[in-house]
Amino acid sequence: QVQLVESGGGSVQTGGSLRLSCGVSAFSYNSYCLGWFRQAPGKEREGVAAIDSLTRTRYADSVKGRFTISKDYEKNILYLQMNSLNPEDTGMYYCAAERTAWMSACTLGRDEYHSWGQGTQVTVSS
């Protein structure tokens, strides 16, 4: 059973940076999507960024140019580098994984992912 464990969250001021990590285990497929999602209090969980097995990436418009998703294939760790953070980025951040058909592009729809981590909190103060 796939296991996803997030870390790296914390509290920063506006303009600051954080790097989230997600350890991925028991997930060995040739074609997959790995994604980062976030959920602010009172809001629905939304997709932030995704990367597929061909290293194609996708970002939500709200984070383009500020966030970067990447994967260390040797260590099986998914990263989310977050720069120029603002209070609207506050929320619980989750990583997610899903096996996909060969060459299928990733989406940022939460219903497309069925394996989730427990989340790590990010708080950005003004």
Residue 28 has pLDDT above 90, yes or no: no
Strands 77-82, 91-99: pairing kind? unpaired
The reported pLDDT for the residue numbered 29 is 87
Per-residue model confidence (pLDDT) at position 102: 85
Say whether pLDDT at 51 is over 90. yes
- Residues 4 and 23: beta-carbon distance below 8 Å: yes
6-15, 46-55, 97-106: least confident range? 97-106
Reported in sequence order, the residue ranges of 26-119 that DSSP labels E, i.e. its strands, are: 32-39, 46-52, 57-59, 67-72, 77-82, 91-99, 115-116
Residue 73: what pLDDT? 87
